[in-house]
Amino acid sequence: MDVPAGVLNETSSGSFGIPELVALARRGKIRVPTFQRSFVWDAADVRELFDSLYRGFPVGTILLWRRPGEAGPISFGPIEIEAAEAADALWVVDGQQRITSLFGTLSPDHKRVDDRFEVYFDLETQKFINPRRGVVPSRSVPVREALETRSLLNWSRQHEADLEIEDLDLVDRLGGVLREYKVPAYIVTGDDQNLLREIFDRVNSAGKPIRRAQVFHALFAGDEEPGSPASVREELRRTGFGALDENRIVQSLLAIRGGDVTRDIRGEFGSDEDPVDWFDRTESALVRAIDFLRSEGVPHTLLMPRTIPLPVLAAFFHLHPEPSPWNRRLLARWLWRGWVHGWGGSEAGPAVRKAVNLVNPVRRPDDTPSEYDAVSSLLDSVPDREPPRIPLTGFRTNKATSRLILLALASLAPADIDGEPIDLAGALEKQGVKAVTEFVPGRPAHAATRGFWPYGQYTAIRGVDPAVLGSHLVSAEMAEPLIDTDEFVERRSPALERLVHEFLSSKVEVGGIVRPPLRDLIATGNAEDD
């Protein structure tokens, strides 16, 4: 048999040895469905998994669904292999990140495919490490060599001169741990999705639960079936706005259907409903939301201070696909006030639920708030006050306040050296946050050294058109001390603080009038003062 006796004969609980998991993955018996999210663990996550194995910590139960698999290419994160047809393939419902990490790190067939999988065990510190600039300490064991006794013995012989007696004991312990550790598993056989749902919930009842979007994947999506968070995510990426969080996509679907977006998704669709149709509606609503965000100067999701507004905007544009210009302005005011002052509390879930309920509280169309009622209620839920001073220190591209600074800089329409506007969305899509460059070195955590200058540090800018420099909030005076970081920061900081304050003030519109659009007032005869 290809699998341990007593584990896969029926729907049951059991365990896998790590060599067994790697072998099954190498032969294409274990497969990651295409509806699963991509491999998102970073190198630290992979190292932590191996540290848990080495120390005997639990790493959680994996959940597999046994059903047929066609011949063809299959992927484990960045690794693609050809698999033969299998009548009893094991499809990963929960455990993708762990299985991919084990396979990528331990498979002898895929060396140097991805830096995250180049894991070594430092015998001196007894810690798992990754190479730094391709260099590893001399007394470090490639974890890939430790899974099989023969390869580990060969490695030990080759490096015997560099090892102490105590090192050999640690090498043996590492190999023993990887060969003997048992990963608990639950394998579901058959097409009973209700059983799969029940087991899924129980597997995820303790510890860090799998995210709501992944639950949707496991319960509703087929291998290539349209109408899933993943398919919506991929379609929206074609807009060039970036990859939206799949959990926000699921919340958006629930938001356009109305009510509590944190409700249990099991049984969400009736027998007469087509989930694919609802995912199509969600995609259309999010496309409108993205267009709205772009009109507000947000070119890419990587510059969104927080993504809380997405389900709210989806619900609004689903119900009101062509709002009046005035109501769009009020909606924008709510958006920026929320980004600047917050939506109340520190938890994202309650904030999303509260805001969605103001736009689409129930599923009965007759009770849906009007376009103006929705935006005015949203405005009532956020503070109407001047923006606070945004600190320039502690800059990080994933911080909400830092992204507000970047949006202010983006409002200047940064130009390239020829004076042509930089495609910020394209740069962010291609380079990620690396599109946010440093004018000068040494102070990356200070916003005054950051911007969208596309030519990197130390590039001479004294001969550049002043208009181009101005589009980056750099004056000729600031450019003079370009290699003196502290002086550059000192000169640019006041201008940046002023830009950010004026930009955010123009967006939050403190004390701005709140009234229905003129067309509504005229219809009711109340437009005397307009």
Q: Are strands 12-17 and 86-94 parallel, antiparallel or unpaired?
A: unpaired
Q: Can you tell me the distance from the alpha carbon of 303 to that of 436, in angstroms, rounded to the nearest whole number?
A: 10
Per-residue pLDDT for the chain (530 aa), expressed as one digit of tens each?
344 433 334 556 788 999 999 999 999 999 887 645 567 788 999 999 999 999 888 888 888 888 888 888 888 888 888 989 988 899 888 888 999 999 999 998 877 788 899 999 998 888 999 988 777 777 889 999 988 888 888 888 888 777 777 788 888 889 888 999 999 988 888 666 556 656 665 655 444 444 555 555 555 544 434 567 888 888 888 899 999 988 889 899 999 998 888 776 667 888 888 888 888 899 999 999 999 999 999 999 999 999 999 999 999 999 999 999 999 999 999 999 999 998 875 556 788 888 999 999 876 556 778 999 999 999 999 999 999 999 999 999 999 999 999 999 999 999 998 899 999 999 999 999 999 998 887 888 999 999 998 876 555 566 788 899 999 998 878 777 556 788 889 999 999 999 999 999 999 999 999 999 877 666 555 544 44
- pLDDT for position 347: 52
- pLDDT for position 1: 39
Identify which of 203, 196, 182 has the alpha carbon closest to the alpha carbon of residue 61.
203
CA dist list (Å): 387 to 336, 357, 401, 408, 508: 10, 26, 11, 13, 8
The pair of three-digit structure tokens given for residue 341, joined into one six-digit string? 């002052």
The torsion angles phi and psi of 394, rounded to 5 degrees, stand at 70, 30
Q: How does pLDDT run across 93-111, given as a tens digit for each residue?
A: 888 899 999 999 999 887 7
Identify which of 221, 504, 259 has the alpha carbon closest to the alpha carbon of residue 361.
259
Q: Which residues contact 195 (CB under 8 A, 6 or more apart)?
A: 11, 188
- pLDDT for position 493: 95
Q: Can you tell me the distance from the alpha carbon of 74 to that of 354, in angstroms, rounded to the nearest whole number?
A: 41
Q: How does pLDDT run across 187-231, given as a tens digit for each residue?
A: 888 666 556 656 665 655 444 444 555 555 555 544 434 567 888
Can you state the angle between helices 246-257 and 212-220, rounded to 10 degrees?
A: 80
330 CB neighbour count, 10 Å cutoff = 25
- For residue 216, the SS3 value is helix
**Sign of the C-alpha dihedral computed for residues 206, 211, 216 and 222 taken in this order:** negative
pTM confidence score: 0.60
The distance in angstroms from the start CA to the end CA of the chain is 81
- pLDDT for position 224: 38
In the sheet with 127-129, reading across from the earlier edge strand, the strands are 127-129, 120-122, 140-142
Asked if 214 contacts 36 with a C-beta cutoff of 8 angstroms, the reply is yes
Q: Can you tell me the distance from the alpha carbon of 18 to that of 105, in angstroms, rounded to the nearest whole number?
A: 12
- pLDDT for position 204: 56
Q: What is the dihedral of CA 47, 53, 57, 61, to 10 degrees?
A: 100
The torsion angles phi and psi of 372, rounded to 5 degrees, stand at -70, -40
Q: Can you tell me the distance from the alpha carbon of 31 to that of 26, in angstroms, rounded to the nearest whole number?
A: 10
- pLDDT for position 485: 83
- pLDDT for position 524: 53
By CB atoms closer than 10 A (0-12, 13-18, 19+), residue 523 is exposed
